[in-house]
């Protein structure tokens, strides 16, 4: 579904990422982890067609990412929720789909709000919702777009630890039900392991993929997984890849 080949992206003299090759099959959940400034956001934005490769190439469902994005086949969830303050939760969920030229489906939007735990808040404005609730609206909005590919950049970065875990488990559930292909950027090692089928570790400046882990923990994964020795072992392996001096 997503194919990144020998990608480098520079901003003027600064090369943000280099030599990145990554294939994400349809329906997979890939997490990308790495220290601040290693180019995770740049990689995600390039996959989404918001930045252009300096060298190498990206294809999303076999086409250039800008085209996939224009057609509404790529949904984004950013760290900042980017909701429109003058629109209700329901209107925020439906407007992107209309913008992409797809038929409006208010009932489906209501159902999605329900699924992310926001039944009864359809008419609420963003200012009256908590940070976690706003991020749920943003997730419902991305899902409502009906894109096959979801790109998520630290979507829970501003949430407290417990809400973050709950949201991660919810996103996993919705991802399984909706069969999306997800690339999810995070700073959190437990989150990367809890959510991913595969965890890609990026390091350096420019950032490169230093290691890729298959996370073969059984699904569905819930809080109990966090305590399991198998989970802890994978967390330790990712931590080692992030910190060793190779």
Assess 86 for contact with ligand ATP (CB under 6 A). Answer: no
Number of residues that bind ligand ATP (CB under 6 A): 11
Residue from 36, 103, 224, 229 in contact with ligand ATP (CB under 6 A): 36
11 in contact with ligand ATP (CB under 6 A): yes
Q: Which candidate, 23, 143, 133, places its Cα nearest to that of 75?
A: 143
Name 93's Cβ contacts closer than 8 Å, sequence gap at least 6: 109, 112, 113, 137, 140, 141, 144
Residue identified by tokens 């989150």 is 191
Q: Decide whether 34 or 168 has the Cβ nearer to ligand ATP.
A: 34
Which one, 91 or 211, has the nearer CB to ligand ATP? 211
Among positions 23, 25, 26, 37, the unique one binding ligand ATP when judged by CB under 6 A: 37
The residue within the footprint of ligand ATP, chosen from 8, 40, 49, 53 (CB under 6 A), is: 40
Please tell me whether residue 14 binds ligand ATP under the rule CB under 6 A. yes
- Looking at the Cβ atoms of 41 and 94, the one nearer to ligand ATP is 41
- DSSP E strands, the chain: 2-11, 14-24, 29-33, 55-60, 74-77, 149-153, 181-186, 198-203, 208-214
Hey, what are 88's tokens? 């209700």
Residues 6+ apart with CB under 8 A from 134: 81, 83, 126
Task: Give the one residue of 1, 39, 139, 238 binding ligand ATP; rule: CB under 6 A.
Answer: 39
The reply to whether 20 sits near ligand ATP by the rule CB under 6 A is: no
- Any contact of residue 52 with ligand ATP (CB under 6 A)? no
135 belongs to the binding site for ligand ATP (CB under 6 A) = no
Residues 6+ apart with CB under 8 A from 18: 8, 206, 207, 208
Binding site for ligand ATP (CB under 6 A): 11, 14, 16, 34, 36-42
């Amino acid at each position: 579904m997503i194919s990144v080949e020998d990608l480098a992206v520079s901003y003027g003299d600064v090369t943000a990422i280099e030599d990145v090759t990554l294939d994400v099959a349809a329906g997979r959940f890939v997490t990308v982890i790495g220290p601040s400034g290693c180019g995770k956001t740049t990689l995600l934005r390039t996959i989404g067609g918001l930045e252009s490769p300096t060298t190498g190439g990206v294809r999303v469902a076999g086409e250039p990412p800008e085209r996939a994005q224009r057609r509404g086949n790529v949904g984004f969830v950013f760290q900042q929720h980017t909701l429109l303050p003058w629109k209700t939760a329901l209107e925020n969920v439906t407007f992107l789909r209309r913008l992409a030229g797809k038929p409006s489906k208010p009932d489906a939007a209501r159902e999605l709000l329900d699924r992310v735990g926001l039944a009864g808040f359809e008419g609420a404005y963003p200012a009256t919702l908590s940070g976690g609730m706003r991020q749920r609206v943003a997730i419902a909005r991305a899902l409502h777009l009906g894109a096959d590919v979801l790109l998520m950049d630290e979507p829970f970065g501003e949430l407290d630890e417990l809400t973050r875990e709950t949201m991660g488990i919810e996103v996993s559930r919705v991802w399984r039900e909706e069969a999306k292909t997800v690339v999810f950027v995070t700073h959190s090692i437990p989150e990367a392991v809890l959510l991913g089928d595969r965890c890609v570790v990026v390091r350096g400046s420019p950032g490169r993929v230093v290691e890729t882990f298959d996370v073969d923990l059984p699904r569905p994964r819930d809080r109990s997984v966090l305590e399991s020795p198998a989970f802890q072992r994978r967390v330790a392996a990712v931590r080692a890849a992030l910190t060793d001096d190779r």
